[in-house]
Structures are given as C-alpha cells and as structure tokens.
C-alpha cells in the first residue's frame, strides 16, 4: 500500500477524498494556485519518485480549466520521476465529438487523448465514455468502467412492480440493452425526430409501456430536455412511473428546472461530477468505492473486468 499515492485536482476533491478513505490511505498533497493572469500553477508537495500515482480529476465544467489543471499536474508528476501516472477521469469531457459528423469539424475526443498522452499519462481510468471507440484513440491502457453496476443494485432495491428499460434515443440502444440484459427486463425505445429547425422534437415509443414502471438509461444528462420530454410522452402512453438513470450529471442550462417541474418521478445519477445544487427529485449514488477498487486492482495487477462479469 506504500507504493502508490492518490492526488486530486480542484474539480471534485470530495470524490478523491472518498477514494482515499476507501483505500485507507491519506490524500497526497499538491498545491494548486493561479497567477494573477489566471495561469495555473501547481506544486507537488511530497516525493513521488518511483511511486505509482493516481490523479483524480473529472474534466467537467469549467472544462478547459479542469483539463488544463490535469495536464499540468501530470507534467509535474512526470518531471518528479513518478513510476507511472494514472489519470482517473470519472467524467471524460469533450467526448461528444468523437468523429467527423460534418465537414470541417474537429474530433476533440482524439485531441484530448493526444494531450493526455503527450503530458505523460500512462493509463486512463474513466467511466461510461460517451462513445466506447474513444478507447481506441489512446495508445495507453484505458479502463472504461460501467456505472450500471451501481444503478443495477439501486433499481433492484426499489422493487418496482412492473419495470421495463427504455432508451431515450436510437443511439443509446446498445447501452440500454446491456442494462436490460443485466436485470432480465424488456426494452422499449424512444424514437425522436425533429421535423424542421426550431420545431420541438416529435417522440414515438417503440414498444408497449402501458402500466409499466419505465427506467430511462443514458450516459450523461446535459440539459435534461430529452429525458423530460421522453418522460412526458411515456406517461401519455400509459406508463405508471418514469425514472431516469444517468451516469454523469452535467446539468447545464435549465436542467434543474426541467427535472423539478417535469414528468420525471426521479433522476438517479452518479457522483462523477459535483452537483451545483440539490433537488428532491435527484438521487446521487457514489461510484468512488468502485473507482477505489479498480485503483487497488490496477496497482496489484489484478483483473478489472471481473468486477463487471
């Protein structure tokens, strides 16, 4: 246990502290300051020579600041002769641009992968990448953990009388199918389309939800518009209740208002991103113990995949 150290950036220090507590070691010390012009200044406050280090830092909003802080901390550790530098990124920002979906657009997920490797990261540990193929953008090991392991236990604990899994769009069918298979439940699909610009989406339900307790599954909740609209349509089709599961609570714009005032009965998220405020409809599940166990297994060269089988 003395061979590795846990550091945390300023994006989500509570998460890093929870990981360290689970592992029974103190958080290692690093000072994060800013120059008067806003540049980030980092100093590692203890020796890391020959140690395996893990840096906990989701690249959530403010995304650019948190990403740059992570890159600078990686560089500092590399220049301090750390044996390995493992970037623990619970939420991987810039993942939505993972291909050229239109002419003359960037592939930011690849750019961020290159930056992390160039800075000196030797492994990335993350959760529910927006697109699984992002792992292929790296030439270093990437452990993409599944948040479904904590959501599965939570759904089981609710003892819903007539549960069914739903994908909020066609693109998320594979993710929802995986979750449905884990629970042995059927799957329905919300098919959405926009008739023309600046006109609200039309949603159709593929499958029967009459009298069902619907569980919407997605990897991230940004503005919550899709989830709120889907819940409204599902209930109009006879659903008894609608619960949304989303690993990453991005919650930008009017997301909180849509959740509070909308048809959703409950929004269940992981703590990969710190919440801006609390809500009676939002339930937060901690995935820090899962990350801590993965860190322990990586350090001891044990299987990570067996956690999810």
Task: Please list the active-site residues.
Answer: 192
- Alpha-carbon distance 254 to 248, whole Å? 16
Cα–Cα dist 277/247, whole Å = 17
**Number of helical (H) and strand (E) elements in the chain, helices listed first:** 8, 14
Reduced to 3 states, what is the DSSP secondary structure of residue 209? coil
Cβ atoms of 34 and 40 within 8 Å: the answer is yes
- As a whole number of angstroms, the distance between CA 169 and CA 102 comes to 20
DSSP letter string over 243-272? EEEEEEE---TTHHHHHHHSS-SEEEEETT
CA gap 49, 302 in Å, rounded = 23
SS3 content of the chain, % helix, strand, coil (to 5): 35, 25, 40
β partners of residue 6: 54
CA angle at 95 for the pair 89 and 98, rounded to the nearest 5°? 140
Asked if 66 and 57 count as a contact pair (C-beta separation under 8 A), the reply is yes
First to last CA, the chain: 26
Closest CA to 292 of 155, 135, 150: 150
């Amino acid at each position: 246990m003395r061979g590795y150290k846990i550091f945390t950036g300023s994006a989500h220090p509570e998460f890093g502290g929870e990981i360290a507590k689970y592992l029974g070691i103190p958080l290692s010390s690093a000072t994060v300051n800013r120059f008067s012009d806003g540049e980030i200044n980092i100093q590692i406050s203890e020796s890391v020579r020959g140690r395996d280090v893990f840096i906990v830092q989701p690249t959530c909003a403010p995304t650019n600041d948190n990403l740059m802080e992570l890159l600078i901390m990686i560089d500092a550790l590399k220049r301090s002769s750390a044996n390995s530098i493992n970037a623990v990124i619970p939420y991987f920002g810039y993942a939505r641009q993972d291909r050229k979906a239109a002419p003359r657009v960037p592939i930011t997920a690849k750019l961020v992968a290159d930056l992390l490797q160039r800075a000196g990261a030797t492994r990335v540990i993350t959760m529910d990448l927006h697109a699984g193929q992002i792992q292929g953008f790296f030439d270093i090991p990437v452990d993409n953990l599944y948040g479904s392991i904590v959501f599965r236990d939570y759904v089981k604990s609710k003892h819903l009388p007539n549960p069914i899994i739903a994908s909020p769009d066609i693109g998320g069918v594979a993710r929802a199918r995986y979750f449905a298979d884990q629970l042995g439940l059927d799957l329905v699909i919300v098919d959405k389309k926009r008739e023309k610009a600046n006109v609200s989406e039309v949603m159709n339900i593929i499958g029967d939800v009459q009298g069902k307790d619907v569980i919407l599954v997605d990897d991230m909740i940004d503005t919550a518009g899709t989830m709120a609209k889907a819940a409204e349509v599902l209930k109009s089709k006879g659903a008894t209740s609608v619960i949304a599961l989303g690993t990453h609570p991005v919650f930008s714009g009017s997301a909180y208002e849509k959740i509070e005032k909308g048809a959703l009965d409950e929004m269940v998220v992981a703590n990969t991103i710190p919440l801006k405020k609390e809500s009676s409809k939002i339930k937060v599940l901690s995935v820090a113990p899962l990350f801590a166990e993965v860190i322990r297994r990586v350090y001891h060269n044990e299987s990570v995949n067996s956690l999810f089988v």
